[in-house]
Each structure stands twice: as structure tokens, then as C-alpha cells.
Amino acid sequence: MDRRLIFPVSLVFFGIVLWYYGGYSGLQVYANLGISSIIIGLLTLSMDNESSKLLKSTCEAFCEILDSFNENSFPLLIVIPPYENLPKGGLLFVSSTEDVSLGILRAKTGRISLRYSEGYLITPVPGWGLFEEATKEVVSEDPYSGLSNFLAAEGVSSLRLFDNGDGSYVLFVKPLCLPKFFDPVVSASLLSLAVSMDSLLEVFDVDYTGEFLTLHFKPLGGVEEWA
């Protein structure tokens, strides 16, 4: 028997005994406590705390592979929200934002030629699955809040967003694995922000604060402005 099941199953069993004893002896408090014990046991049984560990162990090698693409040759990252050409969003590594044109992008990972220079496009965004999972159920919430709540609820990570007041923002995010932008949580967070703000995002600075990754970014305007 799985060790995680011992506590909830004993809680349910204890609840049944308590309920029976309460009914048998006429002590109503015991019967009530028995029912509540069964309910709490069932809810504890439905909790799955291993998802974050499992996610981390499965994505570590994946992050390393993606890191070998060497993002350093292109210092700037542009996060592209999903649109016609890139239905699952994209991460575009470039040396300058000036010659970016979304019209030439196609849904294929690899080196691309921009107007005057080159760039590297990664699509789908590595955290697309997380983003989709977090946003498909709660339609009323904006994608960023949806993802933030989802990650916190699953115990995977936590996100904090601050507005600098000068048009730029700071996002604090706890990554699963270190190669920064390829981390599913980091890329899903950036994508959710791009969708929430309905804009391309330029990540211009990255540093670490403890176990949190600090991403400084600014919105560049909607997809139509860069077509």
C-alpha cells in the first residue's frame, strides 16, 4: 500500500467507527465527528502532492537539451502570444527588436532569418502544456491569474508580478529547472502574461533572487503592430 494513502484511509476508517459508535451509544457529537472525519479523509485522499516532484524530475533533462541551443548568441528574448502563424505561441531570441516581423514566422523551431539579422524561434513554448492545463477550465479569470493559482494550488511554483511604473514589469518566478527561459514554469508564466496583456513581451534582464528567477520585461504592443 502506498504510504501516502495510510493517513486518509485511516481517517475514513476512524470516521466510520466513530459514526457507528456515536449512533450506537446515542452520542451525537461522535456521530458528527465521524461524518466529518470521513469527509476530511476523502478530501485528503484526493490530494496529489507528488505532482511537483514528478514534474521536476521529468523536465530536468528536457531543460538541458533545450539549453544546448545556446540562447546566449541572441541576448534578447521576445515572447510571442499565440496567433495565426504560431498557434501555440513562441519564444524568439534576437539581437535587436528593430527588425522583428511576425509575418515571416512559421510554426517551426529553428534558426530564422529576419530582415537584417538572424534569430532563433522556439515553438510551441516549452510550458504550453502547463499554460493550456491551467487556463482551459477557468475561463472567467485572466490567463496569468489562472496560471498563478494553478501553480500555487499544485504546489509547483509561485509567481509575483510588480509594475515598475515606467512601462516595464518585474516577474518573480520559482523555476523547476535552471536553464531559465526553457523552464516550463518560466515560459508558461511569460506566455500567460503575453496573452493577458495581449502584447509581445521583451525580456531585457534576468537575474536570480534566492531560488526565484527575476525577469524584467516590457510589453511591445499587440501582434498586429508587428505583423
Partner 1 sequence: MGLRFYVLFIFSILTVLGAMMAGSTGQFLALEFLLVVVFYEFGRAHLGKKTVSVMKYIAFFLAVVFILLALQKIETVLEGI
Using the rule CB under 8 A, is 42 a contact of partner 1?
yes
Distance of alpha carbon 42 from its chain centroid, rounded? 28
Among 4, 16, 21, 36, binds partner 1 (CB under 8 A): 36
Element (H, E) at 60: helix 51-67
Among 2, 3, 26, 29, binds partner 1 (CB under 8 A): 29
Among 47, 61, 65, 104, binds partner 1 (CB under 8 A): 47
Among 9, 16, 35, 114, binds partner 1 (CB under 8 A): 35
CB 120 within 8 A of CB 112: yes
CB of 37 vs partner 1, minimal distance in Å = 8
Output the nine-digit C-alpha cell for 205.
534582464
Residue 35's nearest CA partner among 6, 11, 5 is: 11
Using the rule CB under 8 A, is 50 a contact of partner 1?
no
Element (H, E) at 48: none
Using the rule CB under 8 A, is 227 a contact of partner 1?
no
User: What is the rounded distance in angstroms from the CA atom of residue 89 to the CA atom of residue 103?
Assistant: 14
CB of 1 vs partner 1, minimal distance in Å = 19
Among 40, 76, 170, 178, binds partner 1 (CB under 8 A): 40
CB closer to partner 1, 211 vs 224: 211
Using the rule CB under 8 A, is 21 a contact of partner 1?
no
User: What is the rounded distance in angstroms from the CA atom of residue 52 to the CA atom of residue 151?
Assistant: 9
Contact mark string toward partner 1, 91..130, x via CB under 8 A: ----------------------------------------
Q: Is 213 exposed, middle or buried (0-12, 13-18, 19+ CB in 10 A)?
A: buried
CB closer to partner 1, 79 vs 185: 185
User: What is the rounded distance in angstroms from the CA atom of residue 111 to the CA atom of residue 119?
Assistant: 6
User: What is the rounded distance in angstroms from the CA atom of residue 147 to the CA atom of residue 136?
Assistant: 10
The stretch near partner 1 (CB under 8 A) out of 61-69, 74-82, 93-101, 147-155 is: 147-155
Please tell me the chain's helix, strand, coil percentages from 3-state DSSP, rounded to the nearest 5.
45, 20, 30
User: What is the rounded distance in angstroms from the CA atom of residue 106 to the CA atom of residue 95?
Assistant: 19
The stretch near partner 1 (CB under 8 A) out of 106-114, 151-159, 197-205, 206-214 is: 151-159
Q: Which residues bind partner 1 (CB under 8 A)?
A: 28-29, 31-33, 35-36, 39-40, 42-49, 52, 137-138, 141, 146, 149-150, 152-156
